Amino acid sequence: MDRYLVFGHPVRHSKSPFIHTLFARQTQQELEYGLAEPAVDEFAQALRTFFDQGGKGCNVTVPFKEQAFTLVDRLSPRAKRAGAVNTIKLTDDGVLLGDNTDGAGLVADLKSHGVTLADSRILLLGAGGAARGALAPLLAELPSELVIANRTHAKAQQLAAEFCDLGPVTAQTYEQLAGPFDLVINSTSASLQGELPPLAPALIHTDIAIYDMMYGTSDTAFISWAKQHGARQTMDGLGMLVEQAAEAFTVWRGIRPGTKQVLRELKRNLGVI
Ligand code: ATR
């Protein structure tokens, strides 16, 4: 049977095996999908061993995405832009192809929630790996403006300079931000420490869409905060997780699984509904 897995550290709580097993059942693909948690300095060896032993493809998550970028034979254009690899496929001619499906997953999830990206003003919070992966797919949707704000302003400036050939992207400090924005995407890891990005509450209005790439069994700190200040449409990263997985599955198997039912089952599994 074709073998796939996700590399991460820690990875025990990953929902990828659950999601891909449902995709395989739905599309009647014969495959198995497991977990691998190599020590941080043993990822390269573990990856080699997996493919030497017949593995067909894998996902890569924190903290290995940047390292995976350097270990594959070939990169997709979107992985090259993201500077990180979250999906690897062994091609029929034995080439390890590195791809990045995170940004496509974000855009697909935003669209499935009915968020309009064309001609919109988007505010992207954070300038780390998650922001970098999102920029090209977001700019491909032709927003009228995309502003990056980051605690360390120089990193936002660097990202904006790197992507400005793809669309109207600029960097502003949190203090400089002037609304109205149509969509705010939180790519920071602030929620992990129960913290909030230092965004002025005045930027939140009733028609704004709020997206937090993080998710949990209850509202993230950022979503709670945005709701408190009047946001009515809030979305967390669970849908992005399922959509990036669907995109990876499509890369591997050449068949696109449906995501709605799988997202529902995942929410049930997490006890969210
Ligand atoms: P990821 O790969 O998830 O993007 P990362 O590359 O470590 O992770 O980036 C984390 C991002 O969250 C960074 O933009 C970071 O800001 P700095 O560049 O200033 O470090 C941002 N971040 C983390 N904690 C934050 C907080 N409490 N408030 C605001 N931004 C925060």
Q: pLDDT tens across 55-103, in order?
A: 999 999 999 999 999 999 999 999 999 999 999 999 999 999 999 999 9
Ranges assigned E (strand) in 167-236: 169-171, 183-186, 209-212, 233-236
78 sits in which H/E element: helix 77-82
Task: Region of 126 please: left (phi>0), alpha (psi -120 to 50) or beta.
Answer: left
Which tens digit of pLDDT belongs to each residue from 212-232? 999 989 999 999 999 999 999
CA dist., res. 180 & res. 121, Å (int): 8
Enter the tokens of residue 202. 């005045």
Whether residue 137 is preceded by a cis peptide bond, meaning omega within 30 degrees of 0, is no
pTM for the model: 0.96
Q: Hey, whose CA ends up nearest to atom 5 of ligand 1?
A: 128
CA dist., res. 57 & res. 62, Å (int): 17
Decide if 132 contacts 160 (C-beta within 8 A).
no
* Whether 227 is catalytic: no
User: Is it the case that residue 238 has pLDDT exceeding 90?
Assistant: yes
On the 0-12 / 13-18 / 19+ scale of CB atoms within 10 A, 103 is: buried
Q: What percent of the chain has pLDDT over 90?
A: 96
Which tens digit of pLDDT belongs to each residue from 17-30? 999 999 999 999 99
CA dist., res. 248 & res. 20, Å (int): 9
Q: Hey, whose CA ends up nearest to atom 8 of ligand 1?
A: 128
Q: Could you tell me the maximum CA-CA distance found in the chain, to the nearest angstrom? A: 56
Q: With a 6 A CB cut-off, is 188 part of the ligand 1 pocket? A: yes
On the 0-12 / 13-18 / 19+ scale of CB atoms within 10 A, 108 is: buried
Q: Hey, whose CA ends up nearest to atom 12 of ligand 1?
A: 188
Decide if 194 contacts 223 (C-beta within 8 A).
no
* 193 C-alpha to ligand 1 centroid (Å): 11
- Report the pLDDT value the prediction gives residue 252, as an integer from 0 to 100: 98
Q: With a 6 A CB cut-off, is 83 part of the ligand 1 pocket? A: no
Q: Hey, whose CA ends up nearest to atom 27 of ligand 1?
A: 190
Q: With a 6 A CB cut-off, is 128 part of the ligand 1 pocket? A: yes
Q: With a 6 A CB cut-off, is 16 part of the ligand 1 pocket? A: no
Whether residue 197 is preceded by a cis peptide bond, meaning omega within 30 degrees of 0, is no
- Report the pLDDT value the prediction gives residue 273, as an integer from 0 to 100: 77
**Residue 193 Cα: closest atom of ligand 1:** 27
- Report the pLDDT value the prediction gives residue 179, as an integer from 0 to 100: 86
Q: Hey, whose CA ends up nearest to atom 21 of ligand 1?
A: 188
Q: With a 6 A CB cut-off, is 127 part of the ligand 1 pocket? A: yes
Q: With a 6 A CB cut-off, is 187 part of the ligand 1 pocket? A: yes
Which tens digit of pLDDT belongs to each residue from 128-163? 999 999 999 999 999 999 999 999 999 999 999 999
Known binding residues for NADP(+) are 126-130, 150-155, 213, 237
**Which of 56, 65, 80, 267 is labelled catalytic?**
65
Cβ neighbours for 74, distance < 8 A, ≥ 6 positions apart = 95, 96, 97, 98
CA dist., res. 251 & res. 16, Å (int): 15
Instruction: Select from 64, 135, 151 the residue to mutate for testing ligand 1; criterion: most ligand atoms less than 8 Å from CB.
Output: 151
CA distances from 83 to 70, 112, 190 (A): 9, 26, 22
Known binding residues for shikimate are 14-16, 61, 86, 102, 215, 244
On the 0-12 / 13-18 / 19+ scale of CB atoms within 10 A, 268 is: exposed
- Report the pLDDT value the prediction gives residue 272, as an integer from 0 to 100: 86
